[in-house]
Amino acid sequence: MRILIAGGGTAGHINPAIAVARYIRTRQPSAEILFVGAQGGMEEKLVGEAGFPLKTFAMRGFLHKLTPKAIWFNLDTLRRMAASF
């Protein structure tokens, strides 16, 4: 069984994901579990400390404003998303 877990940003998202991964590991010891998250995010520290592999991407959220700066920021976010494939 191969499991991909995505989530991050805050420990409130990462710690429950780690708990789920640990539970899966107890039920299916042969399961391959991979976390994905943002470069520089809290997940780099927490997932690593938990002993699970982590693949990071240069990503970030969208700005919800209609300003020139926000438009460029969001276009750059889309570029980063496309580059991650």
**Domain parsing of the chain, residue ranges:** 2-60
- In the chain, DSSP finds a helix count (H) and a strand count (E) of 3, 3
Residues 6+ apart with CB under 8 A from 47: 14, 18, 35, 37, 54
pLDDT at residue 38, as a whole number: 83
pLDDT at residue 24, as a whole number: 97
Q: Length of the chain, please?
A: 85
Q: 3-state secondary structure string, 30-65?
A: CCEEEEEEECCCHHHHHHHHHCCCEEEECCCCCCCC
C-alpha 26 chain-centroid distance: 22
User: What does the mean pLDDT of the chain come to?
Assistant: 89
pLDDT digits over 12-34, tens only? 889 999 999 999 999 999 999 99
